[in-house]
Amino acid sequence: MSFVGAGPGAADLITLRGATRIAEADLVLYTPSTVDPVWLREHARADAELVDHGRLGADELAERYRGVASRHHRAVLLIAGDPAQCADLREQRELCTKIGLDVEVVPGVSPVSAVAAATGNSLTEAAAADTAIVTDAATEADFERIRDLAAEGRTLAVNAPAARAAELAEALTAAGLDPQVPVVVAHKVSWADEKLLRTTVGEVVAEVKRANLWRHALFLVGDALRQAKPRAGYVPRAAGEPGKRWASKSWRSTGTWPRRSCPEAEVPAQADVEPAVPEQARPVVAEADVPAVEAKPVVKRTAAAKKQPPKTARATARRTTKK
């Protein structure tokens, strides 16, 4: 019996080992809502039996396991995402061991990892988040627990119905998160009809309604999901600490370059600085010693005068004519 992680849903995001176990199986148990039957049939043998795991009760599932053991067949139970996040994995594994089946667990790509990869982000990042928490929320008690889990410096991954986004936003706000903290909402990530929303704690309810999401979705919450890197001087705010989230402003936020300040006095501009000259070295010039300079009158010639030849040239011309 192989418990195989089916990944987030895309056919090419299953591991090679997982694809090999499907190809060798006589019986494949799966859930159509999380695993696409089209690509599953491409990996499975033509004579393999594909059974909807969600339609089987506990007794029917145990009978299927006994049939595999008695016929010495190979069976695969496909688990959406990664088996490490399957809550009843231990129960299923112990049941197969009691029946006499050899058990193997094949890891898969987690939907949390797939959503983070789709946004180009990691779950933890220096100066943004050093802790990642994955949890489910379906009841009122679950949302109350989120108030204790959500905090600055953490990335929170919540599996919850999109129709309860308002309760999630209320829990995050009650935990002290800033309304501008990034939130990513993912539905059927890596599928052909996936929906991926980038929003904030303050706008998540409106964005979910605008996208008409109400079924099961994955919410990623935290500063590590920003689209840009943190600016210089960014310091995560402690939980419950009021005030702004930025420790200092840079010239990019103010639009001007920072001026260098002098610790003692303001340094004047270069054009206003007059070179220091000792008082004794400066020459003393009396006003009477300065000779007066007579200004020469400025004679302006008209256009007609400019065309006439010089006076000496006209006199020479008259003398030549008389002779």
- Boundary residue ending a domain (109, 141, 170): 109
State whether 105 and 116 are in the same domain. Answer: no
- Boundary residue ending a domain (109, 138, 170): 109
- CATH code: domain of residue 209: 3.30.950.10
- The string of pLDDT tens digits covering residues 87-139 is 899 999 999 999 999 999 999 999 999 999 999 999 998 878 889 999 999 88
pLDDT of residue 153: 87
Provide the residue range defining the domain that includes 91: 2-109
Amino acid in position 89: L
The token pair that represents 138 in the structure block: 């379906």
State whether 92 and 119 are in the same domain. Answer: no
Is 181 a member of any domain? yes
State whether 116 and 221 are in the same domain. Answer: yes
Can you name the residues that pair with 187 across neighbouring β-strands? 195
Q: What is the model's pTM?
A: 0.67
Residue 84's alpha-carbon distances to 107, 109, 113, 152, 158, in angstroms, are 7, 10, 13, 26, 16
Q: Which residues contact 200 (CB under 8 A, 6 or more apart)?
A: 179, 180, 181, 182, 183
Cβ pair 85, 132 in contact under 8 A: no
- The string of pLDDT tens digits covering residues 61-77 is 999 999 999 999 999 99
Q: Which residues contact 122 (CB under 8 A, 6 or more apart)?
A: 116, 224
State whether 127 and 69 are in the same domain. Answer: no
Cα separation, 321 vs 107, in Å, equals 123
State whether 13 and 71 are in the same domain. Answer: yes
Residue with tokens 């419950």: 240
State whether 91 and 151 are in the same domain. Answer: no
Residue 240: φ, ψ to 5°: 85, -5
